[in-house]
Every structure is written in structure tokens, then in C-alpha cells.
Structure 1
């Protein structure tokens, strides 16, 4: 914890803490306004917990993907104000809310913005904007890539005048799930958070892991990315994300178990929806026999909550940036995902007239537009593909750390490698090359999604799992010669 930066170095922190303390001391009604993804849920839970610990009169609200949508929402702000809100604290959102926050100010209601997203040209006129990349010209904070939960953790620590170690697990969850780079301070937050979860996982996290058949003692960043994160995200994709915050804040194992079971049911539904929409979108691309450098597919009535996942699936399958939209007959709403080296945000940002709503960054975006504008959207992307030489951008090269042989696969080697972790974005697991003389017992697992086999080496046999590599099943069964395999 000593290696963490001083939260007071964050721009806006002093003003934020002064206003929060004033509200706490005078008993003002505070509302924490979050977001429906894991980073937003964990940010909300952290901020609510810290304010409640300090004795604040505080409540929280997490917007619905389908009703309020992402970020500041004037209608909801007006409702909260009518119900007596005196101070609004945004977490994992808010920097784009200049107009909405101006309305609150006109009503005598202050706002504190805590966020980590891309900074717009015009910042809101709030009491404080706490953001790791402010001031723009020369950020005062040493590390600009905190997650929303990381920023909330910093505010909580400043409020408590000590590292908020009781919620560093939540900061770790938000950081990993939001695919933030696991370097610098994020690496410390995630490492400490994982340690806390392994030693004494909060009831909500323990219940999720138990239902998923995972042991908290084995938790790592990959477990968050593939087990905890998707289940929490399923809530925001299909249901009311307030359930996620309730689960994370629960102190009662029985209540947490009940809530986690609801989450598991939602996650199973999410998985089925993803498969159905992915199959339909893939078939659509096949039928179109498109020559476009960027995939744009539109389906009628596709569930909005899974379109981002489907777009990522299409990127993996085709190697092309992909936009997946759901149509109601007049409007199309959906998500975009890109590949390394292609900025899809900037060209679309330059044509905001096409959209009724748009936001994102170079690698991902969300949008709503009239159905009649989809053709123009494709044209803009085709022109951007030419301008950015998309056709010359292939798959990223694999970085192989070194060669290994079968004798290197032992616990001592594994434990040594863990010193380089936690692994994730910007700090990937090392990849090694190993010479394999034969492949035996090639089978599928998890309903055919993955493959497993025995790799025969000169130093002994090794069990191998290929996650998501079911398409290679036939190839591996046909192997009859020596080959080099890449493992991590």
C-alpha cells in the first residue's frame, strides 16, 4: 500500500473532499450515480461504502442500459432532484455531462464528477472534476490510466485519510474488468486486491465463485476476466444493474448466495443470446459475401445487451473491425469493436450528424442512428479504412519469450513466473515455444468450445488445453509429425 500514489495529487481532489465533508457534516442528501458495467458497479459500491462509513446521508443509483443509458441523464437527474438530492457524485462517468450538470447547478444542486473516460472539449461546471488526466496540459497525477473504480478508490482513501484497503478488492475487479493496463499503480491495486480476495473474499464474490465452481484461493486476474467479470456484466446487459451493487455490498452470505444465483441465471441467458446473435451475424456476413474492410451488420430485434460481445466475436473470426447493430425498424443501436492499429472513433466522431447518440474511443464505441444512415456509416468506415491503410494491418505478431522443454513444466517455474503478474492488458502472460514430437488423445471440452490433448515431448507428456480453438480440432487430429507449439 505504501507504493500507492497520494490521492491528493489528483486534480480536483481537494475541492471534492471539502465539499463532501461539508455535505456530511450538514446532513445533506447525497446520491452516487454510477454505470451499468463492472467498473461502474464497483465504483458505485466503493463510493457509497466510503460515504456511509463517514456518516453521510447517501444513496446510490445505477442507470439501466435500456432506460437511462450510459452517462449523465437529465430526466433522471431531474427525478433525483425532485426527490431531495442536494449533492450528486458521479463515478465512472460524468465528464460528458456539461449540459445536464449545468441544469443541476441552475437548481442550486452541486455535482462532483469522478471519471476516467476520454475528456471532452468542454468539461462540466462542477464543484470538482476528479480525473487522472487533468489538467490536460500537464496532468498533476503520476498515472493517467486508473479505472473508474480506481478513481473512486482514491476518493475513498482521501476521505478516510488512509488507503481504503477494505475496498481495494472492488478496485481490482473494476480495473481488470474494464481492461485497463496492468502496469504502474494499476498493477499494485490488482495485486493487493487479489490478495485480499484470496484471503477473505467478500460474500458476493465468494458466492459467484462458489456457483462457478472456483476456489477463491486460486483467484487471479484471469479468473476476474473470465469468471467474475462476465457474470457481473450480465446483470447490466440483461437486467437492473442495481442488483450488482447490492451483491457487492452484501455482508450476509445467505443473501449473497441468493443474489449470486440470480446473477448466474442471467449469465446463462446471456451466453445463449450471444450464441444466437453471433450465429445470425456470421451467417449474414457469409450471405453478403462482403468486400468491405469493416464489418457492419444489422439485425432486427437483436438483444442490445450482447451486441458488444458479438462485435468482438466477429473481430476474432474475421480479423476486421466490426459494428453490430439492432434495428427496431427506424433506429439502429449497437456497438463497435476494432483491431490494433485502426482508430474507428475519430472518423465517426467527425460525422456525428449521422448519429442520435455516439461515444467511445479508438478501440470500441457505442452508437444509435437512424436506420437510413447505416449505408453512410459503412461509407465513412470504408473511407477511414483507406485513409488508415487498414488493408496493410495484419494480426499482431506473437512475442515469444523463449524456448522451453518438457522438464521446465513444474511448480517452481510456475511460481517464479507469477512474480511477473498479475497478468492482463499491457502485461500479458509470457508465451513460450516447446518442441512437440506427437499429439495424442485430441478431444473437445465444454460443449465443444475448447480442445485438449496430450503433447508428447522428449522429456515427457504434457496436458494441453486450447481455449476457444475448437476450429483446430481436425487439424490436430491429423498431425503426424513433430511441431512447435506455443504455450502460456
Structure 2
């Protein structure tokens, strides 16, 4: 694997640690950014390096906090490590670099140029330098840490891998960085042998090292805390260097679960009432009309990306979700088919992020032209290829297992679906550990393996077949079931 500027960053990191200089670590306000911070925290604990600080979350923004330079001065930092942001802020990085050495570990599109970098300012970002890798910032962070371990503590390499590999595995799927490549496959294998981090004990009862576990058990409660601006909760549960008492941790975890539950309720409520405007291969959703109604404005402003996800999935098209925030409009874009809508929209609007999930701002007057712009962009979007469908009867259990493994690394539109007759399924209740209690159908396989089917997608009597998307697990499990 070749990751541009990784070894230049490694030399800076080695030098700073050898000299015992203070290191300040700053991360973006999402699951990917948090996994970066947790990796650095774990690494410093493992090597006994105490001269570091992690900047706590204070206000939700995807830009670098303007007060970071003051933190560096106060800490007398020799190095600032910025994770999951910074690639679009060359002026800020130059300002910070006047105070300390700077390493940026990111995967977002941005306007940083090679000319902006110096001997003490390095940006490691596969999205900027043409590296043929679909990675999250958590993966970039993992690669730098493991490169440092390999260079300085080679005998401990396998131990560090076991202690850290779950973090990038979590980040790559929580951040939508799908990719059927050797990197993702190797990371998946590493995660199978990794220790399950104690920070995520709230999901331990459902623990299976799969994409489903990340998407449905680990990421949602953390996202809910961020989106509800409960940064104090994130800081206490994940970033504090002080050990919480058991009852304190239990109370915080209860709050985390309540936030997740409420967020799911509000998103489902919004999805049920939102009526998108369909424009070619786009669905346009303006949430402004739902402000000052039954759902709080803060919930709507913070969750437009999740609504865009739901609508993109429901209508099988790209979704642009906008909402008036006062002086301007904020927008989030998601594409069920994984196309590069970001590259197209950057021509017209101030948007940034990565192709799987991005957003930005628009002037109020630009909203009037948005429909015309989407009509123009729809013509330029390539047609999505149909998903491959195979018949269940023709497949052996081994082939089904291989399909499930392959699907672990793909965008939902690139997976292989399995077509199954309803007469081949059986009925049973869900396990008690799932929390939700309802009857569900399954397809019996060898030994104790089963393919699970959602009941609500099964009960349409006029349709004799269903399409199942398989993922890997202790048993084969189906999700995103479609009626054929």
C-alpha cells in the first residue's frame, strides 16, 4: 500500500516522541473523527507517553476550531495532529504551523496544494494526492500509528494491531467509505482478531465484527449524541482520561441510548411526512416548511443528512436535502448509487466532504435556481447499473457465504442480491438480545446458519419472491430486503 506523505508524517511523529514534546490531538465532530482520537489515546496509553492532550469537543463544526492556536500555545505543543478535517483550510493550517508542527490525517476533498506543505506541515489524505484507496480518516490514522509501531517497536506490531484494528474498521463503514479492494478486505481480517474496545460496551450484547454491527449498533448512538449537541456526553464517555465510576458510566450510557431512540423516532416521523420533488435522478427535499412544527428546529437542522439517506434509499436516487438556517440554506446530499455527485455540485455551490456524504451552504437566492441546476446535473449523472441478482436455489452454502463476505466491502448498489421463494422460509421470533421483539422469517442453511428476513417485507401476498442483501456474520444475515 502506498499512502502519499505517510513517511514524511512518520518522521515528524518519531522526532516529536523521541524528544518528549507535547502533542495536541484535534478531531472532527463525527464517528470517524472520534475513532481517530481514540486511536491516539489508546496508543499513548500503550507506550506510556503522557505528554499529550486531546482537545475536547466544544462546539459542533466541521471546520477547525478557531481557538486551536491558543490551545497549542497554552500546551506549549511541539506537534498538532488534526484528524478528519483541515483539507479545505490552508490559511488556518499555515497559522497553526507558525505555532507548532502540524500533521493532518484526512480523507475529504479540499483545496490544499502540495505547495502549501512544508517540512513541518504535512497532509496525509488519499483523496487529495491521487492514492487509489477508499479510506476514512480513521484508516489514515491507523496507518500512521502502525507505521510508527513498525519503525520503533516491531516486536509489538501484532499486539498493537489487535488493540487498534477495530477503530478503523468502525470508521470506514460509519463514514460510508465503501470499497471492494484489498485494503478493506485486509482491514476486515484484522478486525476479526482485534480486541473489542471497552468504549463501545453499550453495543457489546450485539457484538459481531461486521458492517451491520457498525451501522446499526455502534455508530447510531454516537451520531445521536453529536447531532443533539451532547458533546459533554461524548467527552466524558470517550475522551476523558479519568476513570468513571460504574454508576456514572451506566447513567451516561442510558442517556446515549435515549438519544439514539429519540433520534430514530424523529427521523422516522420526518420520513413519513416528507414529500420530495423528483427531478430526473434527484430527489429534492426542502425541510424549511417543517420548521416550527411538532419536531424541534434543532432536530431538523442537525439531521438533514439522515433524512437525505432515507429518501435516497427509498426512491433509489440522489437526494438533496436543504433547510433554511436563518441567513442562508444548509444542504446535505446522499446518493444511494455511490456516484460522484460531489464533483458535479462543486461547480455550482459551496459544498465539501467526500462522495459518499457531503454538504455545504447556499445563499437564499440560490435556492430559486436549485431545481434548474438539478435538472442540468441529472442529465450529466451516469445511469446506475442494475444490481446483480442470483437465484437462491442454484447456490451452495459456501457460495452464499462468499456473497455475504463480498458484500461487506461494497456500496449498496454494487452488492449481489439473492432471490428467494417465500415458500423456502420459516418463521421464528427475534432473539431477546436484539431489543426489538417481533416475528421474523429465516432461510435455514447448514448447521446453525440462517439468513434473516424482515417480516414487514415479507407479508405482501401477491409477490411470491423476495430479494435479500447478505452480509457476513456469525450467521448469515439479510438486510435491505426488497420485494421482487
> What TM-score range do you get, normalising by the shorter chain?
0.7 to 0.9
- How far, CA to CA, are the matches of 1:259 and 1:418 in structure 2? 39
Say whether residues 1:97 and 2:92 are aligned partners. no
Counterpart secondary structure, 2:287: strand
| 1:10 corresponds to which of 3, 14, 22 | 3
**Superposition deviation, residue 99 in structure 1:** 0.8
| 2:352 corresponds to which of 350, 355, 359 | 359
Match of 1:154 in 2: 143
**Superposition deviation, residue 465 in structure 1:** 4.7
Match of 1:263 in 2: 256
| 1:114 corresponds to which of 78, 85, 105 | 105
Check 1:160–1:310 CA distance in 2 against 1; reply closer, same or farther (3 A cut). same
**Superposition deviation, residue 432 in structure 1:** 2.9
Structure 2: stretches of 5+ with no match in the other structure: 292-296, 471-484
When the two structures are superposed, what TM-score results if normalisation uses the length of structure 1?
0.76
Counterpart secondary structure, 1:83: helix
- How far, CA to CA, are the matches of 1:351 and 1:249 in structure 2? 39
- The 5 Å alignment of 1:279-428 reads 279-282=272-275, 285=276, 293-299=282-288, 300=291, 301=297, 302-340=299-337, 342-352=339-349, 355=350, 358-388=351-381, 393=383, 396-404=385-393, 417=402, 420=405, 423-425=408-410
Tell me how large the CA RMSD over aligned residues is: 4.0
Match of 1:84 in 2: 75
Q: Deviations over 1:125-179 (max 9, x none)?
A: 3524353638836x5xxx6223211111122122223433211111211122222
Check 1:269–1:48 CA distance in 2 against 1; reply closer, same or farther (3 A cut). same
Check 1:62–1:425 CA distance in 2 against 1; reply closer, same or farther (3 A cut). farther
**Superposition deviation, residue 49 in structure 1:** 2.6
Say whether residues 1:432 and 2:412 are aligned partners. no
Match of 1:239 in 2: 229
Match of 2:475 in 1: none
**Superposition deviation, residue 242 in structure 1:** 6.5
**Superposition deviation, residue 385 in structure 1:** 1.3
Q: Deviations over 1:357-385 (max 9, x none)?
A: x3134443211223332112332222111
Q: Deviations over 1:450-476 (max 9, x none)?
A: 98447899xxxx987544x74x56623
- The 5 Å alignment of 1:60-209 reads 60-61=54-55, 63=57, 67-73=59-65, 75-86=66-77, 87-106=79-98, 108-120=99-111, 122-123=113-114, 124-125=116-117, 127-131=120-124, 133=126, 136=129, 139=131, 144-161=133-150, 162=154, 163=157, 164-165=160-161, 166-180=163-177, 181=179, 183-197=181-195, 201-209=196-204
Check 1:229–1:182 CA distance in 2 against 1; reply closer, same or farther (3 A cut). farther
**Superposition deviation, residue 98 in structure 1:** 0.5
Match of 1:38 in 2: 31
Match of 1:230 in 2: 220
Contact kept in structure 2, 1:12 and 1:128, CA below 8 Å: no
Contact kept in structure 1, 2:285 and 2:319, CA below 8 Å: yes
- How far, CA to CA, are the matches of 1:182 and 1:253 in structure 2? 42
Counterpart secondary structure, 1:404: helix
**Superposition deviation, residue 333 in structure 1:** 1.6
Counterpart secondary structure, 2:194: helix
Q: Deviations over 1:228-255 (max 9, x none)?
A: 1222222222234564465456877936
- How far, CA to CA, are the matches of 1:449 and 1:320 in structure 2? 32
When the two structures are superposed, what TM-score results if normalisation uses the length of structure 2?
0.76
- How far, CA to CA, are the matches of 1:377 and 1:386 in structure 2? 14
Match of 2:473 in 1: none
Structure 1: stretches of 5+ with no match in the other structure: none
Check 1:399–1:114 CA distance in 2 against 1; reply closer, same or farther (3 A cut). same
- How far, CA to CA, are the matches of 1:441 and 1:55 in structure 2? 54
- How far, CA to CA, are the matches of 1:306 and 1:202 in structure 2? 27
**Superposition deviation, residue 42 in structure 1:** 0.6
- How far, CA to CA, are the matches of 1:308 and 1:418 in structure 2? 29
Check 1:360–1:76 CA distance in 2 against 1; reply closer, same or farther (3 A cut). same
Contact kept in structure 2, 1:16 and 1:112, CA below 8 Å: yes
| 2:51 corresponds to which of 34, 57, 63 | 57
Check 1:475–1:350 CA distance in 2 against 1; reply closer, same or farther (3 A cut). same
Counterpart secondary structure, 2:274: helix
Contact kept in structure 2, 1:450 and 1:466, CA below 8 Å: no
**Superposition deviation, residue 324 in structure 1:** 1.7
- How far, CA to CA, are the matches of 2:139 and 2:374 in structure 1? 34
Match of 2:294 in 1: none
Q: Deviations over 1:5-63 (max 9, x none)?
A: 5xxx5333333233233333444332111112211111111123324435251111255
Say whether residues 1:486 and 2:471 are aligned partners. no
Counterpart secondary structure, 2:460: helix
Match of 1:475 in 2: 460
Contact kept in structure 2, 1:325 and 1:335, CA below 8 Å: yes
Contact kept in structure 1, 2:23 and 2:81, CA below 8 Å: yes
Check 1:242–1:170 CA distance in 2 against 1; reply closer, same or farther (3 A cut). farther
